[in-house]
Amino acid sequence: MVQYNFKKITVVPNATDFINIILSRTQRQTPTVVHKGYAISRLRQFYMRKVKYTQQNFHDKLSTIIEEFPRLDDIHPFYGDLLHVLYNKDHYKLALGAINTARNQIGKVAKDYVKLLKYGDSLYRCKSLKVAALGRMCTLVKKLSGSLAYLEQIRQHMARLPSIDPNTRTLLICGYPNVGKSSFMNKITRADVDVQPYAFTTKSLFVGHTDYKYLRYQVIDTPGILDRPFEDRNIIEMCSITALAHLRSAVLFFLDISGSCGYSIAQQAALFHSIKSLFMNKPLMIVCNKTDLQPLEGLSEGDMKLVMEMKAEAMKTVIGQGGEATDDEGVLLTMSTLTEDGVMAVKNAACGRLLNQRVEIKMKSKKINDCLNRFHVAIPKPRDQKERPSCIPQAVLEARAQQAAEKEKRKTERDLEDENGGAGVYSASLKKNYILANEEWKEDILPEILDGHNVADFIDPDILMRLEELEREEGMHQVEDDEDFEMDGKDLTPEEQEALAAIRKKKSMLIQQHRVKKSTAESRPTVPRKFDKSREFTAKRMGRQLSSLGLDPSLAIERARSRSRGRKRERSPERGDAMDVDTDESNKKLRLRSRSRSRSMSRPPTEFVPGAGFKDSEQKVKAIKLAKKSVKKRNKNARRGEADRVIPTLKPKHLFSGKRSIGKTDRR
């Protein structure tokens, strides 16, 4: 279904703006700089480009205008006629024709001048030709100013036209002015149409939508029609006539039986008879409005007769559609929009009749055969008299029954609350579902502060588990020392046992040292031996080790000392003694670390302590990691701290000396 929506038409600029737009675009989008001394072909090309570009732009813009405005012959005749009534088909076509001509003429101008430009032999000549070409094109567009202004006005009006779908179910409301058409429209749809006591309040068609039996109906409100000869009708009335003529819809002819619209029933009947030719093949309904002022039964004889005549006419349309001749209920209806009495009945009757008519037409048409096979309900013919009801297994039935029972069995907290007095009175006991070792502890009150400490700081759900672990670890250390003697099954002499113990101890010491070294390797700087901070490599140590092996160390010590103490002998006499003490320090440190674990440090560093500033242990771990990461690089570079920016050698030799194998040595 094509939606007739004229909102998508681009704005039509007026002539001067149009020219300005195109010329400024040419000035911006084509090269602007050219000099006298360029080659003549380059000059020609420069100006030809401008002429062609301008022509192209004019062509494009004019083409969009021509294409976007609807062709009155190609759209639905309802819209074609409506646009003709509103804007005059001839003017419209003339305007578009003028634009088309201008477009072609601009093309010709551009072609001629490009041909002339080929003979241009100087910058001045080419430039004058370009100026002449652009000027000619702009003059042609200036002549279009009237057409462009007219089309812009039309476009603005067209965009505000109601989007009526000419092919769907439609109810058309017509009648004299002020009979109550717009009020009815407001009642059955959500359209907010102006209702005023003066005639011709509604000046154009208005559309609303309403539903009936799950289907959408368009309701079209028309301006009032006066009883005049066809030629004398003004544009507003012609709108309604067009709608009546072209839309396949149900027509509701409104009659004001109270005469408060200013026109008598005789006049309204006269109008009815003059436009009844337009009601051909449409389900027609006579609606008597304003019954609150004057009921139908209270009408005079003459008026009643007129109304019955109209009804007879309307009946003809019912018969014409093959409906029963006796069905006269849906033809003449009364209602009052003020009291809303009968409004819905009218709507339903109208919608029902329209639907029936449409369905009938569809059934008669050829297309129905394609649809019929889509909705066929097959009912098998019974071959004997046996009853065959639907079969449901027993288990399913039981399950269903159980589910139904369960739904009522379980008592929710809500039900409890309701029982015990409602929301404000009853407070649920939150502790009743606690899972505790002893049921009696459920109602106990937990203290918050004890001895000046927060109890919460010391609560740890895994405390017992941790205690076990810790004891196990400590126990292990002690056990390890004793274990050495029980490890082999062979008999050893006490000296051998001693030696074995010593060896094992040394080994474990080495292993532990190695482990410490490895774990700190990431953040420990690798420095050459001459800078050893831990003071491991001393002459005294060498002497001890050599003597333990059974060799005489004195010669070696002297040799080493003479080398190391070569120049600085005077300054550092005491270094040797200081070194002795340090050798055992490393061991001390290890021992200290293992023994100094007290209860207060029983928590691993990554454990979450509430109140320390971290959300959970994950965050704490992350923080510790970040801290270590920031220190790692500095430690690796053997910096003492953040501010240590010492460069040991400002001119390292390997960078400032030597020849290069390939390349120059200009820069060092």
| Eight-class DSSP state of 482 | H
Task: Give CA–CA dist 69/92, Å, rounded.
Answer: 10
Task: Looking at residues 15 to 44 of the shown chain, list those that interact with other proteins (rule: CB under 8 A).
Answer: 20, 24, 27
User: Binding mask 75-114 vs other proteins (x if CB under 8 A, - otherwise)?
Assistant: -------------------------------------xx-
Query: Order of strands, edge to edge, in the sheet holding 206-212?
Result: 206-212, 215-221, 170-175, 250-256, 284-289, 332-334
Task: Give CA–CA dist 184/221, Å, rounded.
Answer: 9
Does the protein bind other proteins through residue 119 (CB under 8 A)?
Answer: yes
Per residue, what are the HEC states of 305-367?
HHHHHHHHHHHHHHHHCCCCCCCCCCCEEECECCCCECHHHHHHHHHHHHHHHHHHHHHHCCC
Binding part of the chain for other proteins, among 157-165, 226-234, 261-269, 579-587 by CB under 8 A, reads 157-165
Does the protein bind other proteins through residue 364 (CB under 8 A)?
Answer: no
- Whichever of 189 and 317 has its CB closer to other proteins, that residue is 189
Task: Give CA–CA dist 150/577, Å, rounded.
Answer: 112
Angle between helices 15-29 and 145-159 (to 10 degrees): 100
Task: Give CA–CA dist 359/626, Å, rounded.
Answer: 78
User: Which residue from 14, 101, 168, 204 is in contact with other proteins, where contact means CB under 8 A?
Assistant: 204
Binding part of the chain for other proteins, among 158-166, 540-548, 591-599, 624-632 by CB under 8 A, reads 158-166
Contact present, 655 and 668 (Cβ < 8 Å): yes
Does the protein bind other proteins through residue 64 (CB under 8 A)?
Answer: no
Q: Report the DSSP pairing between strands 453-454 and 449-450.
A: antiparallel
User: Which residue from 93, 108, 142, 209 is in contact with other proteins, where contact means CB under 8 A?
Assistant: 209
User: Which residue from 189, 218, 249, 334 is in contact with other proteins, where contact means CB under 8 A?
Assistant: 189
Angle between helices 77-87 and 235-246 (to 10 degrees): 170
User: Which residue from 190, 374, 376, 407 is in contact with other proteins, where contact means CB under 8 A?
Assistant: 190
User: Binding mask 266-285 vs other proteins (x if CB under 8 A, - otherwise)?
Assistant: --------------------
- Whichever of 47 and 279 has its CB closer to other proteins, that residue is 47
For residue 175, the cross-strand partners are 254
Q: Report the DSSP pairing between strands 215-221 and 206-212.
A: antiparallel
Comparing CA positions, the residue from 259, 270, 188 lying closest to residue 228 is 270
Q: How far is the CB of 277 from other proteins (least distance, A)?
A: 29
Contact present, 562 and 604 (Cβ < 8 Å): no
Binding part of the chain for other proteins, among 137-145, 169-177, 207-215, 620-628 by CB under 8 A, reads 207-215
- And the tokens for 92? 């419209």
Q: How far is the CB of 355 from other proteins (least distance, A)?
A: 22
Binding part of the chain for other proteins, among 36-44, 154-162, 293-301, 330-338 by CB under 8 A, reads 154-162
Does the protein bind other proteins through residue 63 (CB under 8 A)?
Answer: no
Does the protein bind other proteins through residue 118 (CB under 8 A)?
Answer: yes
> What type of residue is 528?
P
- Whichever of 239 and 255 has its CB closer to other proteins, that residue is 239
Does the protein bind other proteins through residue 162 (CB under 8 A)?
Answer: yes
Contact present, 236 and 187 (Cβ < 8 Å): no
Does the protein bind other proteins through residue 410 (CB under 8 A)?
Answer: no
- Whichever of 24 and 520 has its CB closer to other proteins, that residue is 24
Q: How far is the CB of 244 from other proteins (least distance, A)?
A: 19
Does the protein bind other proteins through residue 175 (CB under 8 A)?
Answer: no
Q: How far is the CB of 6 from other proteins (least distance, A)?
A: 11
Does the protein bind other proteins through residue 132 (CB under 8 A)?
Answer: yes
Angle between helices 145-159 and 77-87 (to 10 degrees): 130
Binding part of the chain for other proteins, among 64-72, 202-210, 303-311, 578-586 by CB under 8 A, reads 202-210
Backbone angles phi, psi at 254, to 5 degrees: -90, 135
Task: Give CA–CA dist 194/201, Å, rounded.
Answer: 7
User: Which residue from 42, 93, 115, 575 is in contact with other proteins, where contact means CB under 8 A?
Assistant: 115
Does the protein bind other proteins through residue 619 (CB under 8 A)?
Answer: no
Q: How far is the CB of 47 from other proteins (least distance, A)?
A: 12
Task: Give CA–CA dist 16/20, Å, rounded.
Answer: 6
For residue 450, the cross-strand partners are 453
- Which residues bind to other proteins, rule: CB under 8 A? 20, 24, 27, 112-113, 115-116, 118-119, 121, 124-125, 128-129, 132-133, 160-162, 189-194, 204, 206-209
